[in-house]
Amino acid sequence: LGPTVTVGEILVEIMARTRGEGFLEPIDLTGPYPSGAPAIFIDQCARIGGSAGIVACVGNDDFGRINVERLRRDGADVSAIAVSPDYPTGSAFVRYRGDGSRDFVYNIAKSASGLVSLTREAKTLIGRAGHLHVMGTALSIAEIWTILEYAVEVIRGRGGSISVDPNMRKELLGEGAVGERFARMLDISDLVLPSGEELFTATGTTTEQDALASLFSRGAGEVVVKRGAQGASFFSAAGERADVAAFAVEEVDPTGAGDCFGGAYIACRRLGMPPQTVLDYANAAGARNVTRLGPMEGAGTRAELDRFMADTPRRPA
Ligand code: ADP
């Protein structure tokens, strides 16, 4: 029916080479790495071979170009990525602490991402799309929401489908515009892809059974729960269930695992693969991505994921 489309932020990530606290002294850095949850998602989607594109805005700078070139090289449609002459591409500096938590310095609030608008190219891409994937991170930006509302109407009108990754901070889900946007997305999505804790924060429930019942009662046909190093599970409104044990990998950088999982899931699903195969590819895409430094450096083609699955043992279930 047409490409998978997402809307949202594109940025670069620059990472400390050593673990420790913050950036209060000069340290060795590595990067820039292409990043932004929607960009990671669409890159993985395109690498699988599903037709995929993103509506976004970058600055007229190398941080923008490194992203656009990567996405183009990996097969994504970059025609609806606008270039702002005024604002730079956003960046995030990240350092891991010994306990795995992270310190950040963000330069995103006043970056080109917030200048995204419904350009002629964006309307053309959305007008051809068969699936809309909504990233929770994008819901807090008003300009992005305007485009998402338009995309929902157009893509639904074409008989296309919608998925949502509730990847967002708990504090934003309460009262206010972001909470309302989020509730609306849950009401209209065919497929919801929460990670473990998000299942509960998104539904205000405390058990998996209640959370699933809540999402199905709102109209979702399919819920896929991402469980980090515990793998993932698929549930359908019709009562089907499939589980996968995680691959046994060394986690070098967890950033982007959920986005790669989602990208592979949607791409394989739209290629018509059966649920268990879709889940296997998504599980492999998330696991492969955590083995590489950089948010989308471990995204894999179908052949790379086949090789990864053949070569990597699974953790005991
Ligand atoms: P998010 O990044 O959205 O929090 P998760 O951390 O649950 O999502 O990761 C998404 C998926 O990636 C998991 O369901 C799993 O399939 C895979 N994955 C993530 N971390 C690991 C890991 N340490 N080992 C193996 N697989 C992983």
Closest C-alpha to ligand 1, atom 13: 228
Closest C-alpha to ligand 1, atom 6: 228
Phi, psi values for residue 111, rounded to 5°: -110, 175
Closest C-alpha to ligand 1, atom 12: 286
SS3 content of the chain, % helix, strand, coil (to 5): 45, 25, 35
Distance in angstroms (rounded) separating the CA atoms of residues 156 and 80 = 20
pLDDT of residue 175: 67
C-beta of 41 in contact with ligand 1 (< 6 A): no
Distance in angstroms (rounded) separating the CA atoms of residues 263 and 281 = 10
C-beta of 283 in contact with ligand 1 (< 6 A): yes
Distance in angstroms (rounded) separating the CA atoms of residues 2 and 223 = 23
Ligand 1 centroid, distance to 259 Cα (angstroms): 9
Tens of pLDDT along 186-225?
Answer: 999 999 999 988 999 889 999 999 999 999 999 999 999 9
C-beta of 249 in contact with ligand 1 (< 6 A): yes
Nearest 5°: the CA angle 8, 14, 17 is: 145
Probe residue for ligand 1, chosen from 261, 289, 292 as the CB with the greatest number of ligand atoms within 8 Å: 261
Q: What are residue 83's DSSP bridge partners?
A: 58
Closest CA to 296 of 261, 271, 247, 249: 261
pLDDT of residue 271: 96
Catalytic residues: 259
Tens of pLDDT along 132-182?
Answer: 999 998 898 899 999 999 999 999 999 999 999 998 777 777 668 888 999
Phi, psi values for residue 168, rounded to 5°: -155, 160
pLDDT of residue 268: 98
Probe residue for ligand 1, chosen from 226, 249, 255 as the CB with the greatest number of ligand atoms within 8 Å: 226
Average pLDDT score over the chain: 95
CB-side neighbour CA atoms (13 Å) of 271: 20
What is the value of pTM for the model shown? 0.97
Rounded average pLDDT per 10-residue block, the chain, 317 residues: 96 96 96 97 96 98 98 98 97 93 92 96 98 93 94 97 89 79 93 93 93 96 96 96 96 94 98 96 98 96 98 91
pLDDT of residue 1: 84
